[in-house]
Amino acid sequence: MSNAQDPSQLYAAHEPIFPRRVTGKFRTLKWWLMGAMLAVYYITPWLRWDRGPQMPDQAVLLDISSRRFFFFMIEIWPNEFYFVAGLLIMAGLGLFLFTSAAGRVWCGYACPQTVWTDLFILVERWVEGDRNARIRLHRQPWNWEKLIKNGIKWGLWLLIGLATGGAWVFYFTDAPTLFWGLLDGTASPVAYITMAVLTFTTFFFGGFAREQICIYACPWPRIQAAMMDEDTITIGYRSWRGEPRGKQSVQTSGDCIDCMACVNVCPMGIDIRDGQQLACITCGLCIDACNGIMDKIGKPHGLVGYLALTDEPLERAGKADKPIWKHILRPRTVVYTVLWAGIGLGLVAALFLRANLDASITPVRNPPFVILSDGAIRNTYDMRLRNKHGTDRWFTVTATAGGDVTLALEGTDALRVLVKANETLVQRLYVTASAGTVAAAAHHLPLRLWITDAEGTETPKAERIYKDTIFNGKEDK
Amino acid sequence: MCAKPIKDDAKAKVGTTGHSWDGIEELNTPLPRWWLWTFYLTILFAIGYTIAYPAWPLIYGATPGVLGSSTRADVDADIQHFDALNAPIKAQLVAADLTAIEGDDALKAYALAAGKSLFATNCAPCHGSGAAGVQGLGYPNLLDNDWLYGGTIDAIYTTITHGVRNTVDPDARNVGIYMPAWSDKASGPLADMATAKLSADQIGQVVHYVLKLSGQTAHEAKATAGAQLFKDNCVACHGEDGKGNRDLGAPNLTDAIWLYGGDEVTLTKTLTEGRGGVMPSWGYASASSTARLTEADIRAVAVYVHSLGGGE
């Protein structure tokens, strides 16, 4: 039967969910994780890290106006954005790895939407009571009690939202300065606007949108579904043990007494006994709920629990499950791990190998070369010299080429320039080959430019780097 | 664990879309109603937007919108804002001694940045965006170390301010001074200026002498014959040694740089037809017209051109 013609069936009203309080090992784990993650989020901007007098002392700082990212001892310049790209790729691969091994653990335990919703539900429970009380309050007409309780709840939610947005802005500028600036009204409007937007989105997403975000707005569930296979350990209902549902006094009944505990605690409002489904974020609360009931009726835990699809036939046949490592260790997870670790090692190596001076050389190609009055060929290069030291440094420039060339720097007779601490200098370099030389007639002469830190006194040998480019000669036709 | 089908009653409850692939049917799960409301909200927003901002096209323009928003006005305001911000440093630039600008980091940085964009707007059409000029058309290359009128900051400034051979600025360089057309067949103003009428053979002899002067391969006999013709007719501007004369904008014929080209064909054309490139005056103002560029802008361009590698 198709009722697509009936417009009344095209849209469904939102049914509010009132998750019941639950205790158990997953709930305890989630409390600790929530505490740890919120603590990291709120405390991180306040950590200090001494980088010298000219530099910001905030341990983690995304200084967008100065184009620097600081992370403890690491400082990322805009030209090193590949570190950020690498971290994002690692985050993606990490998600692939965790999802293929253990399902939607990100969704269930670490996603901010889940963590903040959890916190908002906690507040809701403090103010309005547990599931039944909340349902009653929801159904009763508006009166003073409902108004006051909702008012308190919304007020607390707004405070949490404000604190969320408030912590966010501290990552982008010096936290103590901004804190007092926010209080006395001298902070940038951008900070206030960001806080207002994040306060509202936190309030709305955590308080009202909740599971709708996961089901309708978030792309991850769809992507993650493609990461899971029959060996993925995820949450399921052991129907072969639970069915048929019914009273324990009836001999033919399975272990499931149809108490609805797993449904009542579910923040997504689903019935895990229907099997894995799109809306399930694998938060583990149904496991806690069911295990509590199993304790009461004297049955073993695990009617609802973490298991893989490949374990089902084994369990039905009364055999033991495959060991967990056999589920986890399979080509797919190994490939993800190797990729993840490879990129990570590459980034760490790049981090330690990078020099405190850096340069990029851009040949000026309009025109490719200039003929001077004595017939010499001159090429021009724009150099960006980056001094990552906390002190001013003199950099010298030399060249090795396949032919004789002479160097000159715009605006100075010397072959050295002063680059200020933690700054980039754009310096024009002229490379000239005399008329009749190999270089002057070359099509593309390889040219290696060496940049040396002339004041590398605290290091045993002067730090130097090279950049390869080409020299354009005037080819004889 | 997934032995039981998802929501046994779902199909009966919501039906299917009628699509079926390999027996897998698509449930016709209803959209949440808030989704519909969001859709209506976007429509309301769009209507509000077209009322608030310029939107509906009319024959001459568009509905202005009740907020009076105009990106043209925004740009005007931005320009005024930045002009006001730049006013102090422009005043400093005008007040500074020309040769002192490059020694002052702040002034130099401003002049280079402003000069670069002014050059791209005003100078690049002839001199090229990279300032390399166009040889065939006689637009000088500003990157090399050969200058018709001098490559000091003062000389560059004067050239930009007054231009070359234009009919507007009485102080323009080289008014009335040209490379004449030496051919006996030539006519017109450039031919009138020639002190002699040379035959094609004689021009060829001078060309080979110039080729020899500049160190290129030349026909010895022709060059020898051309030497006397050169002495009789050319040294007044280009000098005894052919090294030119900056007071007259006469190019140095002994170096590797050529305004129009140093090969035999181009030199023959230059001698036969004459040359007289023109550059506009950028600083001339009369009662009826304003200068193309302000004093501060001309100084900025001069500093920029001086920094391109050939500055003296």
Q: What are phi and psi of B62, to 5 degrees?
A: -145, 165
Single-letter amino acid code for the residue at A299: K
A11/B33 CB distance under 8 A: yes
Distance CA(A78)–CA(A64), nearest Å, equals 10
Per-residue pLDDT tens digits for B17-71? 888 889 888 888 888 888 889 999 999 999 999 999 999 999 988 888 999 889 9
- Residue in B1, B36, B214 to test binding to A, most A beta-carbons within 10 Å: B1
Residues 71-110 of B with CB under 8 A from A: 102
Domain with CATH 2.60.40.10 in chain A: 357-471
The b/e string for A65-76 (b: 16+ C-beta within 10 A; e otherwise) is eeebbbeeeebb
Report the topology of domain A357-471: Immunoglobulin-like (2.60.40)
Report pLDDT for A456.
53
User: Is-contact B142 B131, C-beta < 8 A?
Assistant: yes
Residues belonging to chain A with any Cβ–Cβ distance to chain B shorter than 8 Å: 1-4, 9-14, 212, 216, 236-240, 243, 273-277, 307, 309, 312, 364, 366-367, 370-375, 378, 380, 410-411, 428, 430, 435
Q: Give the mean pLDDT per block of 10 residues along chain A (477 residues).
A: 54 88 94 95 93 86 90 88 92 93 92 95 94 93 93 96 92 92 90 94 94 90 86 92 83 86 93 89 94 92 92 89 89 95 94 86 92 92 89 89 89 88 90 90 90 67 85 79
Number of C-beta neighbours around residue A2 at 10 A: 12
In sequence order, which residues have a C-beta less than 8 Å from that of residue B241 and are 6 or more positions away? B254
Distance CA(A326)–CA(A313), nearest Å, equals 16
Report pLDDT for A6.
59
Per-residue pLDDT tens digits for A333-365? 999 999 999 999 999 999 888 888 889 999 999
Per-residue pLDDT tens digits for B126-140? 999 999 999 889 999
Per-residue pLDDT tens digits for A212-258? 999 989 998 888 888 888 999 999 999 998 888 888 777 777 889 99
The 3-state DSSP class for residue B33 equals helix
Report pLDDT for A454.
75
The token duo for B125 is 């059409």
Note whether B217 contacts A: Cβ–Cβ < 8 A: no
Helices B200-213/B220-233 angle, 10° precision: 100
Output the DSSP codes for B214-239.
TTS---HHHHHHHHHHHHHHTHHHH-
Note whether B32 contacts A: Cβ–Cβ < 8 A: yes
**Is the pLDDT reported for residue B2 higher than 50?**
no
Distance CA(A197)–CA(B21), nearest Å, equals 44
| Chain B partners within 8 Å of A277 (Cβ) | 6
CA B57 to chain A, closest CA, distance in angstroms equals 34
Number of C-beta neighbours around residue A133 at 10 A: 13
Report pLDDT for A3.
46
B4/A274 CB distance under 8 A: yes
Total residues found in chain B within this entry:
312
**Considering only alpha carbons, which residue of chain B is nearest residue A313?**
B1
**Is the pLDDT reported for residue B94 higher than 90?**
yes
- Measured between its terminal Cα atoms, the distance across chain B in Å is 85
Report pLDDT for B111.
96
